[in-house]
A and B are shown apart, each in its own frame.
Chain A
Amino acid sequence: MNTLDWARTQFGITTLFHFIFVPMSIGLAGWVALCQTLYHRTGRDVYLRMTKFWARFFLISMAIGVVTGIVQEFQFGMNWSLYSRYVGDIFGAPLAMEGLMAFFLESTFIGLWIFGWGRLSPRVHLACAWMVAFGTALSAYFILAANSWMQHPVGYTLNTATGHAQLKNIFSVLFNSTALLAFPHTIFGAYTTAGMLVLGISAWSLLRGRRDEVFGRSVKLILPLTLGVAIATGVFGDGQARLMDTQQPMKMAAAEALYNTTSGASMSLFAVAPFEHHPKALSTDVRLPHVLSLIATLSWNGTVKGINQVNAAEQKKYGPGDYTPIIGVTYWSFRLMAGAGVLLIIFPLLGMLLARRPGRLERTRWFHRAAIVGIFVPILANWSGWIFTEMGRQPWVVYGLLKTGDANSPNVSMASVIISLAGYILVYGILVVVGARLFVREARRGPEEPGPPAPPPAPGAPSRPDLVLAY
């Protein structure tokens, strides 16, 4: 491995760590705000207890997501200085907007929400919860707009003097067709992640014999919501696949390991192939006839471009070279993502079917056990999705404009990259272990007991804020 490989490894590992907790916090922010809204509307104690219970998981995931996000903001400059110079004119703008519009919003209002309970009026306090949920989603939009520009550069010109890309139209960048689909796909994926977490923790508590209304209510609410957002994730993902077919044909072909352009292409469900950069053919290939053409082109006999033809076309356009990503990675990451996505639709649907007869869902222990494993399925889906979209774009870092091999910092030594990588793995590893243990601990502790309403404060006494969520 050379310095470039280590730098790529560092970006991949830090980003995947970051993206364990980020989707959870985006989704849980919305869920907690929803619970609090229900409490605000109905005044029922169970919703208050739900808000406070789920908020604990939200705050843990948020804390880890925020601190690992600091590295994300700086590592473009640290490891990818040539990239930063090349794209900075365009890529920096959404990042700066993310800081100014989204980061300030979520960090300020989360402080107000945690510490303002009982100090702010209930209405204002509820608004703070929604501001946080809005801020986290807004932040996702900007960073996905930035990433979409790497997948499908738009709204730019090439500056002949500097050789760098230059921004021509900010609206093209912010409303890039790629971003318009990547955002709902990612955000609904995040809500699915949170939904499965809520379902899994509730199931775990019910299995342990904790017959608390908080879990029953949560399951009842979260099942249809998770089903809805999981379907939405799939629908937008499907749209992305079709867009990708025109914008990044190589990625689509590599996802299917389709070597030659085919009409009425069948889709491979499962295959075994030598795990190398460019295996000659797939063995043990289970295929569904015509399905690939149907998905990619919406027609039974539509033509899907193959790796070899796209490679030849790119060689003609960009000069000699190999323009294929690692086929084994794209093929399997795509299957893991899509397969997990299907499971994530089936599972809540099953739960809803079980719930149709009263008491049946509560008695179905295998469903609860499966729900605990289900916590990890969306994490796997999120990871394989990012691995697919980033590794499927290789050898490009900005599709058609800049190759990954020309993007890293020339003055950063391999030793520096390895040392920092080791440091990140160590610290992030500790964070993940501690975060997971805190999740288990909070789940075991369970929700607050439904206590009698607090006595009104003595006249003249200073009002004391509710510190149940504060550190």
Chain B
Amino acid sequence: MRRARSLADLALAALCLWAAWYHTPPGALLRTALARLLGGRGATPALLSYYGAGARPLQFAEPLPPRAALSPGAALGLGAQSALERASPADRAQVLARAGLRSGSTDALGDWIGREAQRQGSREAAVLSLFCGEEAARFARDRAGGARGAATLEELARQLPPRYADRVGLAATALTLGTAYALAWPLPDSAQVTSFFGVRAHPLLGGRRFHSGIDLGVPVGTPVRAAAEGVVRRASDDRVSGRLVLLDHGSGVSTVYCHNDALLVAPGDAVAKGQVIALSGNSGLSTGPHLHYQLDLPQGPADPLLFRGARPPQFAAGGTEP
């Protein structure tokens, strides 16, 4: 009896060691150390990639430009198309064949994801289904449990074995880009861009510095609207950014609205797309009334204009606001 139990204990111990060795950061550290000791390089993933169930979007150089303002479905289609551009030709062909699609166009992918979202119950499960297959998406959705509402991609990815990590990365990229493409503009289209995204001469601090968003010149008191539905992560006031609001839209997409005159929301508030969240102003380190609008993706700040179909007018004299 004791020996039979020893065998069972040995089998269970092997399972525990397998899980800890391959699926925890300390296991990765040990594997790296062992590989170094043995003179090899080892191919362990970065320690932080063990969090968020590995649902980290891939690095992307530049997203595909949108043709015009996009509906949420078409935005997700374009996000999926951009993500597929990052996949190898063989992977791309496999994804399209499994979905029964002849082309990877924005419209075809958007329609497919829309239909699948109705079947699977959420857009996250639908995008996972596109990249990992229907079986994997159903498996993940069933295990993640539907009682608490639609599961996030991270919750779904936690249910899948590690061999799906690369495909989950593609799905995360598609969702991130799809969410960014669906963002609305926070001000009326007539608001002029007074300073663009990128390195520029800073008007107040001096020297060439990176401008992480774009500045839109508007009179004090202009309503600032949420670019998409989301949760207020921060509503604070400091002497540089002034009164700022940070919205988290999920899938790694955040937007920031700085230099406001008044904030109309508080941290933790859920906001709807188009809801007025602040009144623009001239607070903080600023040379004139404007809104600093910033789009953040998991890779870092991105130019909001890259995700916008129609370009807003540019201020003729060029802008200087921080």
- Please indicate whether A and B come from the same complex rather than being unrelated chains: no
- Interface, chain A (partner B; CB < 8 A): none
